[in-house]
Amino acid sequence: MTDVPQTYDETGAVVHCQLFYVNDSQQAQVESLQSLIAEHTLPIILDIEVATEKLTQRRRQQLSQASTQPILLLDNKDKLSWLSDGLSVAPEWDKLQRRVVSAGRKSELLLQAAKITSDSHVIDATAGFGHDSLILASTGAQVTMLEQQPLMALLLLAEQQRMSALPNWQKLMSRLQIINADALSYFANLEASTVADNATTIDVVYLDPMFPEDSYQDSKTGKGAKVGKHMQALHQLARPPTLDEERQLLSSVQAVVKQSMQGQGRVVVKRPQFAPLLADEPASESWHNEAVRFDGYFV
């Protein structure tokens, strides 16, 4: 991890965040953020302030540099973003509208790999900004989104709430369930419980774990994915798993899908195109373009 403020902690310690809002009419939005934190028992304490100066790019840089805590901004359109190194990052699901509307197996490699239908239940175990979850949910499938970082989980929950107010998005939003949890413990618990305890089936589990920041492109040819601002920001928060964690996660996820689907399920793993296999485990089938690869494990 680089430049990680001390308030971040993988042991589940409380995260103190500064929240700036821009005008007094936003009290209701601030309260609803507090309610989301309480309802989902997110270990986050907000130190709330109204921004007295205009939040220009220069001011954002200053705030980022001066603070040891993560900073959240509630802008004048009530969009919640995280100020990471002076750059505001947010899920911004509305920007994916065209992609979501036209998403299908032809246009989305992820959907070719996942092969889901509107009856499916998918767990996106590494939700991040939720972009891949939206593509998965565009099929009509139910998507459970796991995100280990409380700050990211809050951004996702706030975005779900904001987008649920837009009539065109309501159905899709109702198919998303966001949970602040570590996938390793979540699947270990599921694995330990009996089939009877697990009422809902899990057709597909999708994994897009962090990958070392300098390894998205092939070192010789320079080919591969560019690291966008969302991924750059995530690298401040989360680290790539160790080989041991990769093995534990993949085997526990495979066991749960196998138990649920008895040979009809799959685990799909996203990797940069030239990246090694997750946990060094050979895939049943892979799909790739010039930037990314999806490895499918049929279980």
Ligand X SMILES: C[S@@+](CC[C@H](N)C(=O)[O-])C[C@H]1O[C@@H](n2cnc3c(N)ncnc32)[C@H](O)[C@@H]1O
User: Minimum Å distance from CB 187 to ligand X?
Assistant: 9
Render 166-232 in DSSP notation, one character per residue.
Answer: SGGGHHHHHTEEEEE--HHHHHHHHHHS-GGG--S---EEEE-----GGGSB-TTT--B----HHHH
> Residue 158's closest CA among 237, 64, 90, 97?
90
User: Minimum Å distance from CB 99 to ligand X?
Assistant: 12
User: Minimum Å distance from CB 201 to ligand X?
Assistant: 21
Name the residue with the smallest CB distance to ligand X: 128
Q: CB-wise, 135 or 299, nearer to ligand X?
A: 135
151: left (phi over 0), alpha (psi -120 to 50) or beta: alpha
User: Minimum Å distance from CB 181 to ligand X?
Assistant: 6
How much of the chain is helix, strand and coil, in % rounded to 5? 40, 20, 40
- Which residue reads 């939005």 in tokens? 29
**For residue 215, how many C-alpha atoms fall within 13 Å in the half-sphere facing its CB?**
10
> Residue 287 in contact with residue 293, Cβ under 8 Å?
yes
Binding site for ligand X (CB under 6 A): 125-126, 128-132, 146-149, 152, 182-184, 208-210, 234, 237-238
Tokens of 112: 């070719």
Q: CB-wise, 142 or 149, nearer to ligand X?
A: 149
- Exposed, middle or buried: residue 74 (CB in 10 Å: 0-12, 13-18, 19+)? buried
Q: CB-wise, 128 or 296, nearer to ligand X?
A: 128
User: Minimum Å distance from CB 100 to ligand X?
Assistant: 12
User: Minimum Å distance from CB 292 to ligand X?
Assistant: 10
Q: CB-wise, 48 or 188, nearer to ligand X?
A: 188
Q: CB-wise, 26 or 232, nearer to ligand X?
A: 232
- Which residue reads 């485990």 in tokens? 281
d(CA 9, CA 18): 16
User: Minimum Å distance from CB 22 to ligand X?
Assistant: 26
How far is residue 102 from each of residues 98, 168, 298, measured CA to CA in Å? Answer: 6, 14, 27
Q: CB-wise, 114 or 125, nearer to ligand X?
A: 125
User: Minimum Å distance from CB 151 to ligand X?
Assistant: 9
d(CA 135, CA 138): 5
Q: CB-wise, 42 or 146, nearer to ligand X?
A: 146
